[in-house]
Structure 1
Amino acid sequence: MQQLKGVGVALVTPFQQDMAVDYAALERLIEYTLRGKADYLVTLGTTGEVATLSEEEQLAVLDFTLKTVAGRVPVVVGIGGNNTQEVLRKLATWPLDAVTAVLSVSPYYSKPSQEGIYQHYAAIANASPKPVILYNVPGRTSSNISAETTIRLANDFPGKVIGTKEASGNMVQAMHLIKNRPEGFLLISGDDHVTMPLIACGFDGVISVIANSHPAQFSQLVHMCLNGQFAEARPLQNSLLEKMDMCFVENNPAGVKAFLSEMGIISNNLRLPLVPLSAVHMAKLKSLL
């Protein structure tokens, strides 16, 4: 899974004014991120507002993304949830031949125990036709995948559970993951802000929000860090810091969609319950550009 090192872009889903998926804008976005040297793309994640897409729309977005990318970079698809059986159904019925891996978020709302989380992912690992990347984001799920559970899954399902997207914000937990991971197990930052220090500790890259709007700069930053050029990368990190702040100031993806709309790549439309960036933050965003 060396091809999933570096920068993965958590693609937004552009919408038209009537809230239909804007495929022309999605094509522009994909081409823009690829020109910016993204290493791979992630579709149907949180940043893609997947919770507001019907299953028919999800399948159409996946199909369009795969056809547009046409094998130029790997594509990872988000298939997760807190209904294990529903996740297994999707894994069994969705057309995943051209997909490189599945990103599966830890069960949200239900707040399972560590054993429940383990058994959820064990079922997914056994059923998935593609390698699985865990996604730990306690701020959204209200439960944490402990380092011990992650390493247990990595050891019990080699070649099936191939990595984790870690967005816990817990640097101590991240260091335990680095210390105890089996060889080849991917550690992927789920938070743009701390990607640089996580790579310094031993992470392999990031699945990024800001890489939608600033792919070239962020890819340069990440690859400099992966090459050990931290002193040289620090000014670039500092130049992007306020833009990263803006991506999450109200909600994700309102911030990055505002950036992209100002760049003329997509329209600034989000599906409820999310709304576009407020006027006061929009003014600051324009000044940052």
Structure 2
Amino acid sequence: MLQEQLRGTGVALVTPFTTQGAIDWTGLERLIDHVIGGGVDYVVTLGTTGETPTLSSEEKLDLIKFTFEKVNKRVPVVVGVGDYNTQDVVKRLETCPLDEAAAVLSVAPYYSKPTQEGIFQHYKAIAAASPKPVILYNVPARTGRNMTADTTIRLANEVSNIIAMKEASGDMVQCMQIIRDKPEGFLVISGDDAVAMPQIACGMDGVISVAANFFAKDMSAMVKASLQGNFEAARRHHYKMLQAFDLMFAENNPAGIKAFLHAAGLMENTFRLPVVPVTDGLYGQIKGFVSKY
């Protein structure tokens, strides 16, 4: 049942801020309604796209509770709980309000660049402590260390509480190796909007998307068509968004997606350092795209 719920389009929610830098709760509620109305299958709170490293412990707890309240069981909620300090993640899993969560998304340990055995033991400890199923998250461009296909398959086979992988390495061969060798029922989820369609064609189970914050309808329709094998329809949605993918990630995530949302009037174009808004030139291109879209 859970694997079916998480097969499709998930959205890694941004965290709107007011011009004074506080969390914009009204803007977040508006965003949640926008993505659910657009047809996403589930939402992810406290991902990197939500500027989680800049949030206090109290704000993280408030965001989890607020998201549960405003989603109101309309779609499943996945909660991001990750760090490079394994014991800190374990402690947070013991105290986070996860009763209403469908699963936990945990990024591979970053900065310290552990070996593959270190990554394996990190996730084994997290899975043992987690009251909810765990989704692995490989994003070497941010963490500084790739989690290999062998490590992913080892975790999938040996740790029963690990049910899925969000794979954002950008390495199509590695992705296909995971798809080929994974145990039955283990989900492989794209973490790269621009290649989600071809990755689903290779056998992935959907996407956890940044772009779906703005393109909820088109991303959801593209993923649904791809999963049904209707690639003629999927390509129409994909190419409609292709330029936007380039603009969105040209300088920084989440600066790019927030520029789209601001241009559409959904929230302020406000961040917490070290993230800053996109340059004026890029914002002008994004605004032009939004006006035509």
Task: Give SS of 1:76's match.
Answer: strand
Task: Give SS of 1:200's match.
Answer: helix
Task: Give SS of 1:207's match.
Answer: strand
Shift of 1:44: 0.3
Which position in structure 2 is the counterpart of 1:173?
A: 174
Which position in structure 1 is the counterpart of 2:127?
A: 125
Shift of 1:34: 0.4
**What letter corresponds to residue 284 of structure 1 in structure 2?**
Q
Cα distance per residue 1:105-162 (max 9 Å; x no partner): 000000000000000000011110000000000000010111111111111112x100
Matching of residue 12 in structure 1 with residue 8 in structure 2: no
Whether the aligned pair in 1 keeps the contact of 2:61 and 2:96 (CA below 8 Å) is yes
Count of aligned pairs between the two proteins: 288
Rounded Cα–Cα distance in structure 2 between residues aligned with 1:126 and 1:214: 36
Task: Give SS of 1:60's match.
Answer: helix
Which position in structure 2 is the counterpart of 1:267?
A: 268
Shift of 1:232: 2.4
Rounded Cα–Cα distance in structure 2 between residues aligned with 1:284 and 1:217: 20
**What letter corresponds to residue 32 of structure 1 in structure 2?**
H
Rounded Cα–Cα distance in structure 1 between residues aligned with 2:175 and 2:263: 35
Which position in structure 1 is the counterpart of 2:232?
A: 231
Matching of residue 87 in structure 1 with residue 64 in structure 2: no
Rounded Cα–Cα distance in structure 2 between residues aligned with 1:233 and 1:62: 33
Task: Give SS of 2:122's match.
Answer: helix
Task: Give SS of 2:19's match.
Answer: coil
Shift of 1:75: 0.3
**What letter corresponds to residue 6 of structure 2 in structure 1?**
L
Structure 1 residue runs of 5 or longer lacking an equivalent are none
Rounded Cα–Cα distance in structure 2 between residues aligned with 1:8 and 1:232: 20
Rounded Cα–Cα distance in structure 1 between residues aligned with 2:233 and 2:127: 40
For 1:111-190, list aligned pairs within 5 A.
Answer: 111-158=113-160, 160-190=161-191
Rounded Cα–Cα distance in structure 1 between residues aligned with 2:112 and 2:239: 38
Rounded Cα–Cα distance in structure 1 between residues aligned with 2:105 and 2:234: 28
**What letter corresponds to residue 233 of structure 2 in structure 1?**
E
Which position in structure 2 is the counterpart of 1:53?
A: 55
Rounded Cα–Cα distance in structure 2 between residues aligned with 1:75 and 1:124: 19
Question: Would you identify which runs of 4 or more consecutive aligned residues in structure 1 move more than 6 Å?
Answer: none
Rounded Cα–Cα distance in structure 2 between residues aligned with 1:242 and 1:194: 13
Task: Give SS of 2:79's match.
Answer: strand
Rounded Cα–Cα distance in structure 1 between residues aligned with 2:260 and 2:112: 34
For 1:203-282, list aligned pairs within 5 A.
Answer: 203-282=204-283
Rounded Cα–Cα distance in structure 1 between residues aligned with 2:268 and 2:139: 28
Whether the aligned pair in 1 keeps the contact of 2:64 and 2:97 (CA below 8 Å) is no
Matching of residue 202 in structure 1 with residue 184 in structure 2: no
Rounded Cα–Cα distance in structure 2 between residues aligned with 1:44 and 1:234: 30
Aligned-residue identity in percent: 57
Rounded Cα–Cα distance in structure 1 between residues aligned with 2:141 and 2:190: 14
RMSD: 0.7
Rounded Cα–Cα distance in structure 2 between residues aligned with 1:27 and 1:235: 30
TM-score by length of 2: 0.97
